[in-house]
């Protein structure tokens, strides 16, 4: 195979995992994805001689937004709505389900978005074999900051927004990007790409250590 002219309809997969939980696939209910990578801005300082200097600003947060059409609450393994309102350890799995807006329900998530023309790949975190092309974004230590339901077009649509900081607290020089670990690595964002000549390896669970 060869890279397509563009990544279009039918090529994207989304996986979301709370730290310590399993990866959940959301592509079947999502018509659009928007990724706003954080800006690496700077301010300009003018000196008294007319010269100009750059003062670097901290890298801004990355924002991942997608729309979806969930029609109900679901069990703890598959529901993004419960992931917003309820702390991880207390998600409801017994019918009838309830999701109360709990105090301090700030769960830590990993969001993975994969584009590939290989229809045998069914998960965003899965292996892409030799002979197929793919592009993948991995964003760790994200927070689900916004869940907006809307019925203005006579259809119930939800807009979900995740925000992710670009670097860890320590930002230690040369730290590895541990794709399967929620530890204090240097970077929380990684883009991957593979041509048909190489395998894109599967990503492990989003662990607690």
Task: Indicate which CATH number applies to the domain containing 183.
Answer: 2.30.110
Residue 105 lies in a domain: yes
The model's pLDDT over 33-85, given as tens digits with 9 standing for 90+, comes to: 999 999 999 999 999 999 999 999 988 999 999 887 776 666 655 556 666 55
Residue 156 lies in a domain: yes
Residues belonging to the chain: 209
Residue 201 lies in a domain: no
Report in angstroms the alpha-carbon separations of 202 from 125, 127, 128, 136, 176.
6, 4, 7, 11, 17
Its domain, for residue 179, covers 12-194
What is this structure's pTM? 0.83
Number of domains in the chain: 1
Residue 35 lies in a domain: yes
Residue 69 lies in a domain: yes
Closest CA to 204 of 138, 145, 152: 138
Measured between alpha carbons, how far is 113 from 108 in angstroms, rounded to an integer?
A: 17
The model's pLDDT over 124-172, given as tens digits with 9 standing for 90+, comes to: 999 999 999 999 999 988 988 888 888 988 888 888 899 999 887 776 5
Residue 206 lies in a domain: no
């Amino acid at each position: 195979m060869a890279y397509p002219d563009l990544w279009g309809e039918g090529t994207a997969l989304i996986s979301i995992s709370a730290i310590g939980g399993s990866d959940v696939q959301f592509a079947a209910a999502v018509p659009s994805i928007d990724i706003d990578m954080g800006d690496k801005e700077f301010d300009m300082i003018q000196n008294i001689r007319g010269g100009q200097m750059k003062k670097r600003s901290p890298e801004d947060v990355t924002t991942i937004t997608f729309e979806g059409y969930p029609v109900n609450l679901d069990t703890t393994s598959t529901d993004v709505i419960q992931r917003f309102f309820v702390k991880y350890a207390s998600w409801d799995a017994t019918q009838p389900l309830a999701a109360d807006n709990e105090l301090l329900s700030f769960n830590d998530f990993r969001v993975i978005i994969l584009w590939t023309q290989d229809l045998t790949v069914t998960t965003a975190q899965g292996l892409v074999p030799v002979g197929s092309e793919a592009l993948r974004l991995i964003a760790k230590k994200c927070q689900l900051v916004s869940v907006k339901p809307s019925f203005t077009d006579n259809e119930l649509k939800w807009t979900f927004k995740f925000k992710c900081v670009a670097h860890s607290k320590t930002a230690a020089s040369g730290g590895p990007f541990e794709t399967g670990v929620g530890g204090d690595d240097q970077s929380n964002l990684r883009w991957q790409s593979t041509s048909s000549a190489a395998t894109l390896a599967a990503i492990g669970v989003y662990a607690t250590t």
